[in-house]
Amino acid sequence: MSRLLIDIGNSSVKAAVMADGELRGHVCAAALSASLLEPLLDEWHPASVGLSVVGNPKDLHLLPRHLPTTRVSAAGPLPIAIDYLTPATLGADRIAAAACAHKLAGGEACVVIDAGTCITVDLVDEKAVFRGGAIMPGLDMKFRALHNFTANLPLLSVETLLSSPDMLSPDNLLGRSTSQSLQVGVVAATRMALKAMVECHKDRHPRLQVLLTGGYGELFADAFGVATRYEPNLVLLGIDEIMNYETEN
C-alpha cells in the first residue's frame, strides 16, 4: 500500500508518495494547496498520510480527512529515543530527519544537518538517541540581517552565491568588493561553524557520519572530512521510517 508523505516547512511544502519502497511523484510548492495534493491522490490512491509540520499553518484542512494520518511528534512512537529538555518544542522535521539519518548511517552516530530557512545541526548517537543540537540562521537569513541592520550593505541571496561559484570555495576568504565580502563572510561563517561542530562530535564518536539535507545542504558536503551523504528527501523518508516503526510496534 502506498503512503502520501508531506513535509510542511518554514518556506516550502514537499510531498511525495512512497510506493513499492520508492518515493514517487515528488512535488514542491510555496504552500499547501489542493492543486498540489490532488494529482498525487488521483494517481496513487494512497492508503494513509504521513505529516511533518513546522509551525501552525492555516491550510491543514486541505489534507484528505478520509485517510488515517500520522503526524510526527516527539510524543509518538519513534525508532529513536528523544533526549531533549523540551520535547514538545522539538520540530517534527528535525525528528523525521534524525530518524532517517540514523537508519542511513547504519546505526552509527551521525550529525544531521538541515540547511534551509534555518540551519539545524543535530546528533543521534550509537544508541539511537537524539541528543539535541544547534539552530542557526540560514544563508538567506544571514544576508537579510546584514542588509536590514546596516545603512549601506546591499541585499544579497543564495541565488547570488550560486551564480558566483568562486564565492563557495573554502579557500576563498578575501572578498574583492562589498558584495563579494558579504558572500565570503556568510559562507565562511556557516562552513566553519558546521565544521567545528562536526569535529567536536567526532572526538566523542570516532565513527561519526554526516547526513545533509535542505535546499542548501549540498553546498557544504565537502566540509567535514568524514563520511558524508546528501539526501534532499531526508525528512520525507524519515516520515516513512516513523510510519514503518509505528506499524511494526
pLDDT at residue 7, as a whole number: 96
Q: 33-37, 41-45, 57-61, 226-230 — which is least confidently predicted? A: 57-61
pLDDT at residue 147, as a whole number: 98
Taking only the tens place, the pLDDT of each residue in 193-242 is 999 999 999 999 999 999 999 989 999 999 999 999 999 999 999 999 99
CB 123 within 8 A of CB 202: no
Closest C-alpha to 95, from 235, 214, 232: 235
Strands 118-124 and 129-137: antiparallel
pLDDT confidence band for 56 (50 / 70 / 90): confident
The CATH 3.30.420.40 domain(s) of the chain lie at 1-71, 73-249
**Domain 73-249 carries which CATH code?**
3.30.420.40
Taking only the tens place, the pLDDT of each residue in 73-86 is 999 999 999 999 99
Give me the mean pLDDT over the 140-166 stretch.
93
| Spatial distance between the Cα atoms of 51 and 72, rounded to a whole number of angstroms | 6
Q: Give 158's contacts (C-beta < 8 A, 6+ positions apart).
A: 139, 140, 143, 215, 216
Q: Give the whole-number percent of the chain exceeding pLDDT 90.
A: 84
Catalytically annotated residues: 93
Domain 1-71 has CATH 3.40.50.970: no
pLDDT at 57 over 80: no
45: alpha, beta or left, given left = phi > 0 and alpha = psi -120 to 50?
Answer: left
